Amino acid sequence: MNEKLKGRKSGVLVGSRQNIALIGFMGAGKSSVSRCLRDLLSMEEADTDAMVVKAEGMAIADIFAKYGEEYFRRRERDVIRDLENRQGIIISCGGGVVMREENVINLKKFSRIVLLTAAPETILERVRHSAERPILNGHMNVEYIAELMEKRRKKYEEAADLIVSTDKKNVRQVCEEVIDRLSETEL
Ligand code: S3P
């Protein structure tokens, strides 16, 4: 870790909202950035998708196929509620988490919320070979991604304490920017 980052590190973690929640569209880089932040900041990591998968014993695509999206959204809400008493964790949120206001209210109570963004073309490049995202099944194209992103944009932006673009940056650069900018913002 470089000197600048070391100095910033402690500043990210003080205050009552000790967790960092990463939100953003599918393929915005939440999981990779979460892993990198976990390592740089020596924090633990919680991934809402992985928590739902573990609780249900099924892949997300199977949960959608068997029980439908609304069921998945309720499980997603439950895992976020369950995180309330955790401290010092990076929370990597599924792309649809902010569509429920209750989730945003809960996340805001105990986390600083960082929105990761990317252009629809970048998103497509990152997710085009994924069969794990039922929302994009049959819609793997820039037009659909751009349209859904636009529909969600307001909710993402309203939820965010900080917005970081990931276009043309590697994971490490995004992490350093998140850490730098979180250290500079009000807690
Ligand atoms: C979804 C995003 C996915 C997953 C589910 C629904 C969405 O998570 O929660 O497939 O509605 O945007 P990622 O953003 O981690 O791909």
Q: Determine, yes or no, domain membership for 11.
A: no
Ligand 1 atom with the shortest distance to the CA of 49 = 9
Nearest to 97 by CA among 48, 55, 136: 48
Confidence at residue 167, expressed as pLDDT on a 0 to 100 scale: 96
Determine the residue of 74, 127, 133, 148 to mutate for testing ligand 1's pocket, defined as the one with the most ligand atoms within 8 A of the Cβ atom: 133
96 found inside a domain:
yes
At a CB cut-off of 8 Å and minimum separation 6, what does 88 contact? 13, 18, 19, 43, 44
Confidence of residue 8 (pLDDT cuts 50, 70, 90): low
How many angstroms is it from 12 CA to the middle of ligand 1?
27
pLDDT, one tens digit per residue, over 67-86 is: 999 999 999 999 999 999 89
Q: How confident is the model at residue 131 (pLDDT cuts 50, 70, 90)?
A: confident
Lowest average pLDDT, out of 3-17, 90-104, 161-175, goes to: 3-17
Mean of all residue pLDDT scores within the chain = 92
Report which of residues 91 and 87 the model is more confident about.
91
Q: Does residue 7 surpass a pLDDT of 70?
A: no
Domain count, the chain: 1
In a domain, 150, yes or no: yes
Domain with 145, as residue range(s), is: 17-173
* Residue 168 CB burial class (10 angstroms; 0-12, 13-18, ≥19): exposed
Give percent of the chain above pLDDT 90.
84
How far, in Å, CA of 22 to CA of 116, rounded? Answer: 7
Pairwise CA distance, residues 76 & 56, whole Å = 11
15 — phi, psi (to 5°)?
100, 175
Indicate whether 93 belongs to any domain: yes
Q: Taking the mean position of all CA atoms in its chain, how far away is CA 28?
A: 8
With respect to residue 103, please indicate whether it lies within any of the assigned structural domains.
Answer: yes
CATH for 79: 3.40.50.300
Question: Does residue 128 lie in a domain region?
Answer: yes
Q: What is the SS3 assignment for 164?
A: strand
* Any domain includes 184: no
Domain assignment present for residue 122? The answer is yes
pTM: 0.93
Q: What is the pLDDT of residue 185?
A: 74
Mutation to probe ligand 1, out of 23, 25, 26 (largest number of atoms < 8 A from CB): 26
